[in-house]
Homo-oligomer: A and B are copies of this chain.
Amino acid sequence: MKMDSRLVLALDETDGEKALRIAESVGDIVDAIKINWPLVLSEGPQMITRLSELSEVICDFKVADIPNTVRLIVENSVSRGASAIIVHAFAGDDSLRAAVEASGDAEVYAVTEMSHPGGRMFTAPNAEDMARLGVECGVDGFIAPATRPDRIAAIREVIGDLKILSPGVGAQGGKASDAISAGATYAIVGRAIYGAEDPRAAARAFAEDIRTVL
């Protein structure tokens, strides 16, 4: 995945036409657009391909299954045009390796902790162990919350030069430039861009904020 603006749009929009319109308006500003299952369920897996013509696409599918199912999900997503896919480290080493093997030239990012209150219960105590496991299994990067720069720094210490994607910028309170300063490779912004009256202007503002610390 390219590293230019260091900005990723979380396109959590389930209306296909709206999603494409937003992608068209910010595709040349963001480095990638991250989508999730709700869009696939509402508009079909063809959305991966259509969006990949406008931007690199990260399939935030939080895959957490047995190795063979992981392989099928990753292979299909990549063949449809995904540049990266997000998996749960929680599913263990064999599932992580299956994702890496199936990804080909696409990248694999691992979730090692979830930042919503309930998500912390079982992931937080294991986050560093899961990050070490991800490194061993050959993933390309990790997810760490922009709202907790201390967690970005802690994961950065474990993973060396690998990438970090940080969600939680904008509506959830994180600042893009703070996340990048703390060690994130990409800041992920959702609603504050796709829900803005002028998504292109909003994306530009986030990209400029990031540029101040590059």
Whether A122 contacts B76 in the complex (CB less than 8 A), given A36-B65, A40-B41, comes out as no
Q: Which residues of B contact A36 (CB under 8 A)?
A: 65, 69
Whether A61 contacts B90 in the complex (CB less than 8 A), given A72-B14, A118-B67, A118-B95, comes out as no
Q: Which residues of B contact A45 (CB under 8 A)?
A: 40-42, 44
Closest B residue to A123 by beta carbon equals B90
Contact with B along A171-211 (1 / 0, CB 8 A): 00000000000000000000000000000000000000000
Contact with B along A73-115 (1 / 0, CB 8 A): 1001100100000001111111110000000000000000010
Query: How many chain A residues touch the partner (CB < 8 A)?
Result: 46
Closest B residue to A137 by beta carbon equals B118
Determine the main DSSP class of A at the interface with B. helix
Q: Which residues of B contact A76 (CB under 8 A)?
A: 14, 38, 41-42
Residue in B44, B61, B66 whose CB lies within 8 Å of A116: B66
Contact A116 B90 (CB under 8 A): no
Does A62 sit within 8 A of B, measured CB to CB? yes
Contact B66 A92 (CB under 8 A): no
